[in-house]
Amino acid sequence: MTNLNWSGIFPAMLTPFHENGDLDLEMLAINIEAQLAAGSEGLILAGTLGEASVLTTDEKFELLTYTLGVVNGRCPVLLNVAENTTRDAVAFAQKAEKLGATGLMVLPPMRYRADDVEVVTYFRTVAQSTSLPILIYNNPVDYGIYITLDMFEELLQEPNIQAVKESTRDLTNITRLRNRFGDRLKILGGVDTIFLESLVVGADGTVAGLVDAFPRETFAIFDAFRKGDIKKAVDIYRWFMPLLELDIQPKLVQYIKLAATKEGLSTPYTRAPRLPLEGEEEKRIHKIIDDAVALRPQI
């Protein structure tokens, strides 16, 4: 089992498509290089922003294999596990390990509102099926399942469950986790709009969304904070906030893909049921992005 360095910026990678809906792997490579150049610590594939819900299983493994080739050992590559059954999740995790993934991000069961015992059993079964390091995704806002401290107490009996993507949107939970588990559980913030606050109260890093469009600015905030230059971190963060708020909207995929497209790091295309932006909404999002870029800080 490998212990990852759960400190820094972990982009939740977009999945670029061609206009006809096929994977655009060449554009993915462009974004990967931008993330690595900025200083990102690891890449997470096929998450919510990566449009996991509209990717086939084969496509997820294609993304993994391609990304591993581009990265060529320069950073960890994690694949998201978001299966409906424990059996499928186990098979998925084992194949990801066989193909060379460095780690896994694991969501709770997707289509069943499992109770606490069922959730813990699900995560532990997946963990026991692989030697890969695991990042647990705790997002009760979007998935309706809250992983409590008592549940983490059981989960941490599995040595390869190493970190949590903390997306409860309750900053005090970071302190609770740190008080209870010390350094045993690494904590990555999971909500862009409280990214800096999460670092201040003890998160080790963040799984970021707008980093797909603005890798240098995202890393600059983390780097300034790490070096104790809080004023610089806050200044960049305040500039960034109108963009970061795109991450907490139902159409975050379309919004962030548009921003990344403007930066030359994605295509705007999504797969239905997500549809292209149009009308007043399209104009509004373009303006948010353009206004921010016009005032872009010097990094």
Report pLDDT digits (tens) over 136-182.
999 999 888 999 999 999 999 999 999 999 999 999 999 999 999 99
Question: Which range marks the domain in which residue 121 is found?
Answer: 8-294
Q: Summarize the confidence of residues 10-19 as an average pLDDT.
A: 98
Burial class (CB in 10 A: 0-12, 13-18, 19+), 130: buried
Q: Please report the pLDDT score of residue 169 as a whole number.
A: 96
| Six token digits for residue 71 | 């990265």
Q: Please report the pLDDT score of residue 111 as a whole number.
A: 81
For residue 113, pLDDT beyond 90? no
Q: CA geometry: angle at 128 spanning 113 and 145, to 5°?
A: 20
Q: CA geometry: angle at 14 spanning 173 and 81, to 5°?
A: 60
Q: Summarize the confidence of residues 69-90 as an average pLDDT.
A: 97
Q: What's phi and psi for 16, nearest 5 deg?
A: -70, 140
Is 182 inside a domain boundary?
Answer: yes
Dihedral (CA of 130, 135, 139, 142) sign: negative
Alpha helix locations (H) across 72-115? 86-99
**Mean pLDDT over each residue of the chain, to the nearest integer:** 97
Q: Please report the pLDDT score of residue 143 as a whole number.
A: 86
For residue 285, pLDDT beyond 80? yes
Q: Please report the pLDDT score of residue 240 as a whole number.
A: 98
- Residue 173's SS3 state is helix
Sorted by sequence, the CB contacts under 8 Å of residue 92 that are 6+ apart come out as: 57, 81, 83
Residue 104's CATH number: 3.20.20.70
Is 132 inside a domain boundary?
Answer: yes
Q: pLDDT over 90 for what percent of the chain?
A: 96
Query: Domain total for the chain?
Result: 1
Q: Would you tell me how many other CB atoms lie within 10 Å of the CB of residue 113? A: 11
Is 2 inside a domain boundary?
Answer: no
**Residue 23 and residue 54: Cα distance in Å, rounded?**
12
Is 1 inside a domain boundary?
Answer: no
Q: Please report the pLDDT score of residue 252 as a whole number.
A: 97
Is 45 inside a domain boundary?
Answer: yes
Burial class (CB in 10 A: 0-12, 13-18, 19+), 98: exposed
For residue 1, pLDDT beyond 80? no
For residue 3, pLDDT beyond 90? no
Is 221 inside a domain boundary?
Answer: yes
Place 112 in a pLDDT band, splitting at 50, 70 and 90. confident
Sorted by sequence, the CB contacts under 8 Å of residue 139 that are 6+ apart come out as: 107, 165, 167, 168, 190
**Residue 5 and residue 27: Cα distance in Å, rounded?**
27
**Residue 206 and residue 193: Cα distance in Å, rounded?**
11
Place 78 in a pLDDT band, splitting at 50, 70 and 90. very high
Is 140 inside a domain boundary?
Answer: yes
**Residue 121 and residue 137: Cα distance in Å, rounded?**
15
Place 35 in a pLDDT band, splitting at 50, 70 and 90. very high
Q: Please report the pLDDT score of residue 208 as a whole number.
A: 98
Nearest to 203 by CA among 167, 234, 242, 228: 167
Report pLDDT digits (tens) over 209-255.
999 999 999 999 999 999 999 999 999 999 999 999 999 999 999 99
Is 98 inside a domain boundary?
Answer: yes
Q: pLDDT over 70 for what percent of the chain?
A: 100
